[in-house]
Amino acid sequence: MGNGDYDSYSSGMNVESVHRVAIPPPQPFFESLKYSMKETLFPDDPLRKFKNQPASKKLVLALQHFLPILEWGPKYTLPFLKSDLIAGITIASLAIPQGISYAKLANLPPILGLYSSFIPPLIYAMMGSSRDLAVGTVAVGSLLMASMLGREVSPTENPTLFLHLAFTATFFAGLLQLSLGLFRLGFIVDFLSHAAIVGFMGGAATVVCLQQLKSILGLEKFTHKADIVSVMNSVFSQTHEWRWESAVLGCCFIFFLLVTRYFSKRQPKFFWVSAMAPLTSVILGSILVYLTHAEKHGVQVIGNLKKGLNPPSATDLVFVSPYMGTAIKTGLITGIIALAEGIAVGRSFAMFKNYHIDGNKEMIAIGTMNIFGSLTSCYLTTGPFSRSAVNYNAGCKTAASNIVMSIAVMLTLLFLTPLFHYTPLVVLSAIIVSAMLGLIDYQAAIHLWKIDKFDFLVCFSAYIGVVFGSVEIGLVLAVAISVLRVLLFIARPRTFVLGNIPNSSAYRNVEHYPNAHHVPGILILEIDAPIYFANASYLRERITRWINEEEEKIKGAGSTSLQYVIVDMTAVANIDTSGISMLEEFKKSVDRKGLQLVLVNPGSEVTKKLNKSKFLDEIGHKWVYVTVEEAVGVCSSFMLHTQKANPMKDESEGLNNV
């Protein structure tokens, strides 16, 4: 099919009705690179509010950017204070027992849980962009820290070094979080998919619940490993050490906490019942132990908690080998997990209230509070879901609820810590178990199974990795499978055969629309991804296979022979040199078969590269169209024209068929 034939035919056509694909104007390389970097690092265009502003206004806007309290603080009203006061006192009643519980889970002194609920919330209230996030320690971060640091240093044999490593790991976690926010690299956190987080959190919650069997059964010795096999082996190898008093007390408080949570879910206006339940459990448990002297009958208690505010810990940070490497590794992993949880929780509640939170601001705020926390005897903090949910339900209006909570914790540290002396550890374990059961989201796992089996595989792998291996193994498995899925999407993109929807000009996937019919003599294909070195070879082979299958189908049916291959490139956002080489080789392949390659709607970036590589000259600009409809119209008309110009061919074909 020569160019002369096309030109002689097209001269008789209404060429004005066909829209040609325009070649975009050339753009300097550095301009293109600048645009790509801006879209990657500054998709929200944070500098637009600084445009055309005087220097004084720019300074105020910059301060408000890093300290949002300067933005909402001047607009603060008395009704806001009333709401935040109620919310702050409510979350403090949850933060105090949870803080003590999670510190024990991290194998750290219980007082650190209160320290960590004092300084970090104050910093977040000034720097955070979420109105609903309630800051504090979290179970998963506590478990991770206990597990990872415990492999190098025993918390019982060398508690001081273990404590200092916890501060150091928190420092490096904060440094990572702050760096990600300042350099706007928060998209790295997105590699933890929703499915991975569901499985990871569920597995960690399961492990945390199992480890509480130590306190519930009143065991003195227990494994430091987190996998289910080690935990169950430790439990059932000490059946003679089980304390029924402790077990009964633990089961009763777990039942009480679960009932109050169920009641609050059924009656949202009574949210405070569930919020006050942990502190109520601590008070009741302490009174019960004090009156019955249960500590002498196998029920372990917290003991003395020293009064006073956070002592400085800057000189306690460990920057010497071999422990510094362990602290960095622990800090990086716990920092990423804490960041993912905090941002996910903040975004969830922001969506409910229809406002926006800045992910990079959140990273800076969380990172800063962990750095300052590590210098003031705090360990890893973020925005836990349970505490934030209580804050949201309590009607908080701004981040000032964190300030109220912090003041309540400060008063507890100054005056009330002796009251926790008789608090039984089994009550703290009951609080942890009741909180963790809410993180095992089996309904989300069932939803993943129904919607996307691969996502369910990611979720299940993360869960199994955590429960039967370790928290790190589960995390690595989840991320690895998620990345594998991304690579599969890139390396094996989808290609479709398109057909015409009856009585319309639309062309759609024939598998999706079975009633879409093929156009005789034309194979229409769609590529559903950018063409890169990773998928170029696969695409060439897949498209060739489509052509071979179409030719075999036509040969079997004895219909019009294949003459055109139309490739819809609407979804091809970009192409590299390997992709262009693939198209050149494919063009030669279809030429040898006597077919004509036609391109439809290549994007601006693709068109520029195809033009610079001279591929458009090679294929002919006349074989590049804006829509599939136009391409099919021209090809069909041209086939009709050639058939009329050669009637003897039709007659001979008819005789041969007879």
3-class secondary structure per residue, 12-26: CCCHHHCCECCCCCC
In terms of Cβ atoms closer than 10 Å to its own Cβ (0-12, 13-18, 19+), residue 46 is middle
Residues 212 and 160 placed together within one structural domain of the fold? yes
**Which residue intervals of 106-227 are DSSP H helices?**
111-115, 119-127, 139-150, 159-182, 194-211, 213-216
Residues 322 and 394 placed together within one structural domain of the fold? yes
- pLDDT confidence of residue 267: 84
> pLDDT above 70 covers what percent of the chain?
91
649 in any annotated domain: no
- pLDDT confidence of residue 18: 66
Residues 459 and 509 placed together within one structural domain of the fold? no
Reported as a pLDDT band with limits 50, 70 and 90, residue 367 is: very high
56 in any annotated domain: no
- pLDDT confidence of residue 654: 39
Instruction: State the average pLDDT over residues 110-133.
Output: 94
- Helices 271-292/78-105 angle, 10° precision: 50
Question: How many other C-beta atoms are found inside a 10 Å radius of the C-beta of residue 594?
Answer: 10
- pLDDT confidence of residue 23: 77
Residues 272 and 167 placed together within one structural domain of the fold? yes
- pLDDT confidence of residue 50: 74
What does residue 441 show for φ and ψ, rounded to 5 degrees? -90, 80
How far apart, in Å, are the Cα atoms of 426 and each of 139, 286, 622?
16, 11, 79
Residues 465 and 496 placed together within one structural domain of the fold? no
Asked which of 435, 465, 484 is the last residue of a domain, the reply is: 484
Nearest to 308 by CA among 440, 460, 413: 413
Residues 566 and 451 placed together within one structural domain of the fold? no
Q: What single-letter amino acid sits at 360?
A: N
Instruction: State the average pLDDT over residues 363-379.
Output: 95
Check pLDDT > 90 for residue 377. yes
Q: What single-letter amino acid sits at 650?
A: D
Q: Beta 564-568 vs 596-600: how paired, if at all?
A: parallel
3-state secondary structure of 609: helix
Residues 538 and 615 placed together within one structural domain of the fold? yes
Residues 317 and 416 placed together within one structural domain of the fold? yes
| Structural domains of the chain, count | 2
Q: What is the mean pLDDT of the chain?
A: 85
Residues 352 and 316 placed together within one structural domain of the fold? yes
pLDDT tens readout for residues 565-589: 999 999 998 999 999 999 999 999 9
* Top mean-pLDDT range of 363-372, 486-495, 517-526: 363-372
7 in any annotated domain: no
E strand spans, 505-612: 507-509, 522-527, 564-568, 596-600
Asked which of 425, 460, 484 is the last residue of a domain, the reply is: 484
- pLDDT confidence of residue 435: 80
pLDDT tens readout for residues 130-189: 999 999 998 888 988 988 898 889 888 899 999 999 999 999 999 999 999 888 876 676
Reported as a pLDDT band with limits 50, 70 and 90, residue 643 is: low
Check pLDDT > 50 for residue 10. no
Residues 464 and 553 placed together within one structural domain of the fold? no
Check pLDDT > 50 for residue 4. no
> pLDDT above 90 covers what percent of the chain?
35
650 in any annotated domain: no
Instruction: State the average pLDDT over residues 461-478.
Output: 84
Residues 335 and 198 placed together within one structural domain of the fold? yes
- pTM value is 0.76
> What CA–CA distance (Å, rounded) separates 425 from 250?
9
- pLDDT confidence of residue 588: 92
What does residue 645 show for φ and ψ, rounded to 5 degrees? -75, -15
Reported as a pLDDT band with limits 50, 70 and 90, residue 190 is: low
Instruction: State the average pLDDT over residues 461-487.
Output: 83
Query: What CATH code is carried by the domain that includes residue 561?
Result: 3.30.750.24
Asked which of 435, 462, 484 is the last residue of a domain, the reply is: 484
31 in any annotated domain: no
Give the DSSP letter string of 359-390.
HHHHHHHHHHHHHHHHTTT----B--HHHHHH
47 in any annotated domain: no
54 in any annotated domain: no
More confident residue, 637 or 30: 637
- pLDDT confidence of residue 613: 92
Q: Which domain holds residue 476?
A: 70-299+309-484
Residues 244 and 373 placed together within one structural domain of the fold? yes
- pLDDT confidence of residue 652: 39
